[in-house]
Amino acid sequence: MDRYVLISLHDVTPFHLKRLQHAEKLFKDLGIVNVNYLFVPDYHSRTPTLKPGESEDYRIWINQKRPFQIQWVLHGYTHKEPGTVTTGRLSPIASLKKRFLTANEAEFLHFDRQSTLKRIQQGRSSFVRHLKDEPKGFIAPAWLYNEHLVACLKELGFLFTENHRSIQLLPKNRHLHAPVITWATRTLWRKYSSQLVCPVLSRIWSGQKVIRIAIHPYDFDHASTVANIRKVISSVLKNRKQALYSHLISNGKSKKKL
């Protein structure tokens, strides 16, 4: 039985360009052949304040040739919680997730349906402008969203989204169980605990058909975190095929059960 690993680089944006270049060096060193890049159109509303040349450097970087294949995915719009909340009060569970899983970046946890549609459409327009293609998938920042997101994505023709536990194939309303391994660096406690937990999770989930490895640009500010990422990916690649989201969608449409 084939097993798959889906490696993703989150928060692809001009603000993180130097960190993204470090990430690509790691991918080359490890012989990665498939990576999913999560594109943020206006990260923390910083795009209007780019210095002269930064936007051009980013455009050149996006279009450069690489020794691995990329699938681009839309990853929110600003990756930041909005100043104006348009939905009702959060549930206790949603409030806990927001508090412990992210630092004011649960962009799609606070929108009503109309605001959700508008923000996705803004992101899609930017995606097409930069990448000359339509996004097939959408992933909410911090994997947090309310009940409006999935319905809006279906209405707009997106093929997949995901949460912490699974990838959802939207046209079929089918979930592919795919737990995620990701590192944290926001505090010293999170940084070193994730370096202990992530290798353990890679072993615990060794029997899973699909696992995801999510890497963030800020990981590359910490040498020990990068070393841990390298160790986990090297181990996982010994017995798993590398996948893009499109590969899993294709298999999901076939009679093969993931």
Q: pLDDT tens for residues 141-177?
A: 999 998 899 999 999 999 999 999 999 999 988 999 9
Contact (CB, 8 A) for 86 and 115: yes
Question: What is the structure's pLDDT at 186?
Answer: 87
Per DSSP, what are the bridge partners of residue 71? 36
Closest to 9 (Cα-Cα) out of 1, 17, 196: 17
Q: pLDDT tens for residues 211-223?
A: 999 999 999 999 9
Instruction: Return the CATH number of the domain spanning residue range 4-253.
Output: 3.20.20.370
Contact (CB, 8 A) for 17 and 223: no
Long-range CB pairs of 202-208, under 8 A, 24+ apart, other chains included: 202/232, 202/235, 202/236, 205/179, 205/181, 206/239, 208/3, 208/177, 208/178, 208/179
